[in-house]
Amino acid sequence: LLMACAHAEGNWQTVHSAGNPIISDGQNFTTDPAPLVADGKLYILTGRDTAAPGVNDFIMPEWQMLETEDPASHTWKYNPHFVRPEAVFKWATPARAYAGQIVQGPDKRYYMYAPVVEAGSKNKDPFAIGVAVSDTPTGPWTDAHPAGPIVSQSYPVKNDIENIDPTVLVDDDGRIYLYWGTFGRLKAVELENDMVTFKGQPVDIHGLKGFFEAPWLFKRNGTYYLMYAGNAAGPESDCTEAVYYACQAYGTARSPLGPWTYQGVLLDPVSSTTSHGGIVRYKGKWYLAYHNADAPGGDHFRRSVSIDEVTWDDSITPALIDKVIP
Ligand code: FUB
């Protein structure tokens, strides 16, 4: 009863996980983790894979949420039905709740950047990025820009899917940066204080070797880091294992829009073809959340979120991320 009162949406339950993946019940598949530190807690926004075994498609009807006060305790609060795209965005179709991220805006409210398919879209790329807003990290969510998505094919696309995988950084000086993209195309733009209006035109970002998708922008000790899924199929990739699996690579920059310097691979290819992660500092430690196909019944379209601690090599400038050994 207490839990139901504390959270406005959905059903929260307590999960004592045996380790990684966090949810390993063979029923609920968690994907595309986006960690967030808020109210002294570590949250992880995730998607939900519901493809039946053998179905080669991302069937993702809703977002889910994980919450802990200590990742080492393996005790999580879990909301398997956090929010659905069509419940927030009038213009969205169901079933494509792709990789989102929640960040706290300068107004202290929470903004959820969500790639979803636009209803009735005849665009080459039907995906678009909407923004939801809430007073709390756990909702309830309303459309922060009811006029429609803030990113859509009104910006010329080269591929059938481009407008997904948003990542947002609210910088120490209050300026806000949005990156997004897949299929090797990474775009970025500064946002106004309202978290939805573009400041100028988006730019194409280069310099990140083998970039495929899943950008994650963060900052540490004045250095900007951009982690991403490096396409192992790409000729320039450092991923050394199976050809079609992605690794997590990263680059650094002294300015939020680059130029970026490629720094290497921090997580080798996992057991799912896609690799998607987020890095965050919580209670003095850094963590990488990512997904793989390691849970019972898992596969490329039935992925599950894991979390590991990240350590740094501070003997050099900029500090580099030690390879994460899951
Ligand atoms: O989950 C759907 C897509 O798979 C994401 O948008 C990509 O980053 C990959 O993880």
pLDDT, tens only, 9-47: 458 999 999 999 999 999 999 999 999 999 999 999 999
Whether the predicted pLDDT of 234 surpasses 90 = no
Distance, CA 60 to ligand 1 centroid (Å)? 10
Check pocket membership of 58 for ligand 1, CB cut-off 6 A: yes
Give the number of the atom of ligand 1 that is nearest the alpha carbon of residue 47. 1
Pairing of strands 304-310, 285-292: antiparallel
Tell me how far apart the terminal alpha carbons of the chain are, to the nearest angstrom.
36
Distance 18 CA to ligand 1 centre (A): 25
In tens, the pLDDT along 144-166 reads 999 999 999 877 788 888 999 99
Higher pLDDT, 265 or 10: 265
Euclidean distance between CA atoms 149 and 196, whole angstroms? 9
Which of 29, 30, 32, 50 gets mutated to test ligand 1 (max ligand atoms within 8 A of its CB)? 32
Q: Cα–Cα distance between 64 and 51 in angstroms, integer?
A: 16
* DSSP-assigned beta bridge partners for residue 245: none
According to the model, what pLDDT value does residue 240 have?
Answer: 54
- Please report the pLDDT score of residue 233 as a whole number: 52
Q: In the structure, what pLDDT confidence band is assigned to residue 242 with cuts at 50, 70 and 90?
A: very low
Q: Read out DSSP for 174-219?
A: S-EEEEE--TT--EEEEE-TTSSSEEEEEEE----TTEEEEEEEEE
Query: Is a pLDDT exceeding 60 seen at residue 82?
Result: yes
The answer to whether 154 and 118 are in contact (CB under 8 A) is no
What pLDDT is recorded for position 237? 57
Give the model's confidence band at 136: pLDDT under 50 very low, under 70 low, under 90 confident, else very high. Answer: very high
The whole-number pLDDT of residue 3 equals 35
Residue 243 has pLDDT above 60, yes or no: no
- Euclidean distance between CA atoms 37 and 197, whole angstroms: 24
pLDDT at 11 (0 to 100): 87
Cα separation, 299 vs 270, whole angstroms: 11
Ligand 1 in reach of 76 Cβ (< 6 A) = no
- The percentage of residues in the chain with a pLDDT greater than 70, rounded to a whole number, is 93
107-120: pLDDT as tens digits: 999 999 999 999 99
ipTM greater than cut 0.85:
yes
Confidence category of residue 304, pLDDT binned at 50, 70, 90: very high
Nearest to 11 by CA among 81, 75, 116, 112: 81
Q: How far is CA 140 from CA 43, 101, 231, in A?
A: 15, 15, 36
Going by pLDDT thresholds of 50, 70 and 90, the confidence category of residue 5 is very low
Q: Whose CA is nearest to atom 8 of ligand 1?
A: 214
